[in-house]
Structure 1
Amino acid sequence: MQDKWHDITIALAGVFQAAALVEQLAKTGYLPTDPYRTCIESLFALNPASTEAVFGGRGNLELGLKVLSDLLQQNRSREHSHTLRYVLGILHLQKKLGKQNDMLNIISSRLKQAEQQAEHFSSTHDNVIANLADVYTDTISTFRFRIQVMGDYNYLQQSRIANQVRALLFAGVRAATLWRQVGGNRIQLVLQRRRLFQTADALLKNPQI
């Protein structure tokens, strides 16, 4: 039987990857293609065969695992100075969303429509990302609590980048939902940091475990 910490760490790495990409995008206007596509396509994995399948395999979460590992060691480099705050915000939003069944149904329906659009264009096409951003704005973004994204105003005022930020936050909430489904909780981030770090480190060093 697979260690539960494997699935918890994989799902949490999905949250950290989305959050780290939000920070990078807000500061530089740039997104690495593969980690970005992994986050976006995870939104369409509504009936996955496994935790890893949501992200197309653990190899697609290398960025998330590295950032998770670094921040669990309290190695808060300048590059990821806001990532942990985004992660905590995402977890808070997901907890609120989990209590809103009507909103969850709306999201599920609209994600199916977005998936069809992605099949026609591509998962990261501007039209698809704008659609996903609209879903986020119409649902999760209506909560009183909102994540304040910090970065270069010249980038954040661009509609394309603003849509990418919302789509990534949306992907982060999706990963957080998975994290809770496989047994993740916020207490682990305080009391089980060492176990999470060991699992993340092992996944990075030995992708076959």
Structure 2
Amino acid sequence: MVDTPFQQPQSLNVRQNRALALAGVFQATQLTHMTAMTGQQSIGETGNFYFEQLIKASLNIRPALNTSTQTLDFFNQLGDIALGLKTLESSINQPFSTTPKSKIPKLPSAKLPMSYAMALLQLEKKVYSNPEYVAVIEKSQQKILKQLSFFDNNYMHPSIIANLAQAYVDTAGQINPRILVRGNAESFKDPNHTNRIRASLFTGLQLAHLWRQLGGSSWNMIFSKRKLLQDIQTLARLQYQMV
């Protein structure tokens, strides 16, 4: 076990913390989408930065109830989740589905991150209600945290990415309906490419778990979209005030 890596002077209210955790889920699915469609090299340094922040957070979000009620304790600053806030805001007016189908419907590519996010929120409940899957996640977290010392704390090392991907395969990847990611068919032949996609989904699964621990629920999200949008806009303003 390790302590949460960052402590923030700025305290957010319950709703804002929940919205920020949900933005983390959407950041993970946006990165999943970007990687699948354009390849791991095309997401650039900015995409890698956002991915690294999610990896750090996912390793510190525990299956048991986390002692922190501040989402920012798992990140360095609001800017670390800026991509997720933007993605969530752009998706907020799209219809949410609480029962994702086994096959992704024919949606414009812009809607795919939302589809993946809603599927992750459903998978999280199934994963964390299974003690065997919870044990897999805990074991994987400890293994990766130990490995980091051998890789100079390089969270983006291929071995770290591969272990995160395997954690996803061994948990959410065992549950139907599975998330079917659309992308470049040729790129999916590269194991490093698929590892990054699965690792991104694992970080999203972990942020979904934090969101649930903070009181998040799919039904509440559907019927409180206006409040959620207000919280996102407030967080966006705070992001620039805290720079």
Instruction: Name the structure 1 match of 2:231.
Output: 199
Matched, 1:26 2:36: yes
- SS of 2:24's equivalent in the other structure is helix
Instruction: Name the structure 2 match of 1:98.
Output: 128
Q: 1:128 aligns with which of 160, 179, 190?
A: 160
Q: Please, which runs of 5 or more residues in structure 2 have no aligned partner?
A: 1-10, 96-106
Q: 2:185 aligns with which of 153, 173, 177?
A: 153
- SS of 2:178's equivalent in the other structure is coil
Deviates more, 1:77-86 or 1:54-63: 77-86
**For 1:107 and 1:85, how far apart are their aligned partners in 2?**
24
1:78-97 to 2 correspondence within 5 Å?
80-97=110-127
- Matched residue type, 2:169: T
Q: Please, which runs of 5 or more residues in structure 1 have no aligned partner?
A: none
1:52-91 to 2 correspondence within 5 Å?
52-74=72-94, 80-91=110-121
Q: Kindly provide the CA deviation profile for residues 36-87 of structure 1, in whole angstroms up to 9, marking residues without a partner as x.
A: 1111111211467431122333220000000111111339x96633011100
TM-score normalized by the length of structure 1: 0.92
Any conservation in 1 of the 2:19–2:228 contact (CA below 8 Å)? yes
Instruction: Name the structure 2 match of 1:143.
Output: 175
Identity of aligned residues (%): 30
Q: 1:5 aligns with which of 12, 15, 32?
A: 15
**For 2:158 and 2:123, how far apart are their aligned partners in 1?**
25
- SS of 2:94's equivalent in the other structure is coil
**For 2:220 and 2:29, how far apart are their aligned partners in 1?**
19
1:74–1:135 Cα change, 3 Å: closer
- Matched residue type, 1:70: S
1:139–1:73 Cα change, 3 Å: closer
Following TM superposition, by how much is the alpha carbon of 1:206 offset from its aligned partner in structure 2, in angstroms?
2.5
Any conservation in 2 of the 1:23–1:80 contact (CA below 8 Å)? no
Following TM superposition, by how much is the alpha carbon of 1:102 offset from its aligned partner in structure 2, in angstroms?
2.4
Matched, 1:36 2:68: no
Taking only aligned residues, the RMSD between alpha carbons, in angstroms, comes to 2.0
Equivalent residues, number: 208
1:83–1:188 Cα change, 3 Å: same
Q: Kindly provide the CA deviation profile for residues 163-195 of structure 1, in whole angstroms up to 9, marking residues without a partner as x.
A: 001101000000000000001110122110011
Following TM superposition, by how much is the alpha carbon of 1:2 offset from its aligned partner in structure 2, in angstroms?
4.4
Instruction: Name the structure 2 match of 1:117.
Output: 147
**For 2:211 and 2:238, how far apart are their aligned partners in 1?**
22
